[in-house]
Amino acid sequence: MSQYVNEVLENLKKKYPAEPLFIQAATEILNSLAPVVEAEPKYRKHKVLERLVEPERIISFRVCWQDDKGEIQVNNGYRVQFNSAIGPYKGGIRFHPNVNQDTLKFLGFEQILKNSLTSLPMGGGKGGANFDPAGKSDSEIMRFCQAFMSELYRHIGPDTDVPAGDIGVGGREVGFMFGQYKKLANEFTGVLTGKGLNWGGSLVRPEATGFGVVYFCEEMLKTKGDSLKGKRVAVSGFGNVAWGAVQKANHLGAKVVTISGPDGYIYDEAGIDLEKAAYMPEMLRTNPRSVAPFAEKYKSAKFIAGKRPWEVKVDVALPCAIQNELNLDDAKALFANGCQVVTEGSNMSSTLEAVEFFMHNTGKIMFSPGKASNAGGVATSGLEMSQNSMRYNWTREEVDAKLHQIMVNIHKACVDAAAKFGTPGNYVNGANIAGFLKVADAMIDQGLV
């Protein structure tokens, strides 16, 4: 408990009653920081928490475009430039119907600490639009991306703010946005990451988030003298993160028995192997709202409509879909079924109640928050930025080795910080504290700006 933390949180709740996701993220993070701000009065003196919870800048703009029928469409675009204490703003762009300022503030806040954990020089930011890519033609996607970038380009730059992909934004969208930025700025620079390999992208970036999740999970199991080999794994989602996680889990000898979509989950007792994983991106392109086609293509797979995969008996759970996809009942079900480790792949996969349940059962079930275990995506974006600056490309092996080492280092940073501040084995506290310290000290070093 910390009076300082409570005051800041109470003020935040009063000020932003319409931002439940941001308040959820802030509650989890600030509560973890209580022992740090109590031990070090300088953070209170410099009002670091009050400053940290306010984005440095939020850009909110209109995006007008024309659909294939010639109808005019109007969407809302945003970029939350949250914190630049340790580097240019960095973070993805999400296109999803439920995107609003609250969503992007929660994601941007998480991103500050995540990027700090990677040990690369990147500040925290996030952007997006309430645009639904489902069912849109390539031309519609292109026109939307161009309209979005026509406004955003004036606020970003390779040393200012470097966006990337997130839900609804992959290689195709990054391509269209990059083309429009280049045309408007008359510059070919590393202003976006997740670019195509022929025009400045990095090897391993597409699969990096999922690979990193599984590398992190393997490190967690290692602390118990165990490994993923032979484990039964439940993955949720079937997008970019889930796709990488399924592959790497297979590489490390695990058996993946589930993936999921907004409409239900796939249970495949034969295992979702590398060949089946290759079908996931195709399914995503065809319809990002349904995982059902997987069961039509593979006879061993069953589609369970309207449910989430956490009811399946597994050793390892990797939530890789979207925020709040794992609630208290799901956490209890996993625990009751003997699940040993939950490694988040999506940002804030678990509700506050589920996180509290996991923290309460530290020692009996291991749990890591997305900001630590999914940091491999943005870390590899950082590696893409380095390659762009050097005008040089590393090989697949070089990038993968760096990604792996970064995940090992993040895991160690979390374990060490958790132990140092009195909650050994608590990855939530460890991640929040380790991420915070670097940013907070940089903010103090740089004065009141």
Q: Does 377 bind ligand 2IT (CB under 6 A)?
A: yes
* 344 residue type, one letter: E
Residue bearing tokens 């406004």: 151
Interstrand relation of 72-83 and 255-261 (parallel, antiparallel or unpaired): unpaired
Q: Which of residues 349-368 bind ligand 2IT (CB under 6 A)?
A: none
Q: Would you state the structure tokens that stand for residue 410, as one six-digit string?
A: 């993040």
CB-CB contact of 142 with 176 (8 Å) = yes
Residue bearing tokens 């690979």: 211
Q: Can you tell me which of 55, 87, 88, 92 binds ligand 2IT, judged by CB under 6 A? A: 92
Q: How far is the CB of 118 from ligand 2IT (least distance, A)?
A: 9
How many residues bind ligand 2IT, per CB under 6 A?
Answer: 11
Q: Does 212 bind ligand 2IT (CB under 6 A)?
A: no
Q: Which of residues 379-398 bind ligand 2IT (CB under 6 A)?
A: 381
Of 114 and 411, which CB lies nearer to ligand 2IT in the complex structure?
114
Judged by DSSP in three states, 200 sits in coil
Beta bridge partners of 318: 235
Residue of 126, 195, 371, 402 marked active site: 126
Q: What CA–CA distance (Å, rounded) separates 266 from 272?
A: 10
For residue 126, indicate whether it is catalytic: yes
Residue nearest to ligand 2IT (CB): 92
Q: What CA–CA distance (Å, rounded) separates 391 from 396?
A: 16
Judged by DSSP in three states, 268 sits in strand
Q: What CA–CA distance (Å, rounded) separates 21 from 102?
A: 6
Q: Does 164 bind ligand 2IT (CB under 6 A)?
A: yes
Beta strands in 201-244 (DSSP E): 232-235
Binding piece for ligand 2IT, criterion CB under 6 A, among 67-75, 267-275, 376-384, 400-408: 376-384
Binding mask 98-137 for ligand 2IT (x = CB under 6 A): ----------------x-----------------------
Judged by DSSP in three states, 194 sits in coil
Q: Does 261 bind ligand 2IT (CB under 6 A)?
A: no
Q: Does 91 bind ligand 2IT (CB under 6 A)?
A: yes
Binding piece for ligand 2IT, criterion CB under 6 A, among 65-73, 293-301, 323-331, 375-383: 375-383
Q: Would you state the structure tokens that stand for residue 437, as one six-digit string?
A: 């310290």
Q: 405: part of which helix (H) or strand (E)? A: helix 396-420
Q: How far is the CB of 112 from ligand 2IT (least distance, A)?
A: 11
How does DSSP classify residue 232? E
Q: How far is the CB of 282 from ligand 2IT (least distance, A)?
A: 22
CB-CB contact of 393 with 232 (8 Å) = no
Cα angle 212-218-221, degrees, rounded to a multiple of 5:
145
Greatest CA separation for the chain: 63
Q: Can you tell me which of 19, 166, 218, 315 binds ligand 2IT, judged by CB under 6 A? A: 166
Binding piece for ligand 2IT, criterion CB under 6 A, among 89-97, 282-290, 353-361, 385-393: 89-97
Q: How far is the CB of 110 from ligand 2IT (least distance, A)?
A: 8
Q: What CA–CA distance (Å, rounded) separates 246 from 211?
A: 9
Q: Does 317 bind ligand 2IT (CB under 6 A)?
A: no
Binding piece for ligand 2IT, criterion CB under 6 A, among 36-44, 88-96, 144-152, 441-449: 88-96
Q: How many residues does the chain have?
A: 449
Q: Does 435 bind ligand 2IT (CB under 6 A)?
A: no
Q: What CA–CA distance (Å, rounded) separates 132 from 407?
A: 32
Q: Does 145 bind ligand 2IT (CB under 6 A)?
A: no
Q: Does 192 bind ligand 2IT (CB under 6 A)?
A: no
Give the residue numbers marked as catalytic: 126
- List of residues contacting ligand 2IT (CB under 6 A): 90-92, 114, 164, 166, 193, 347, 377-378, 381
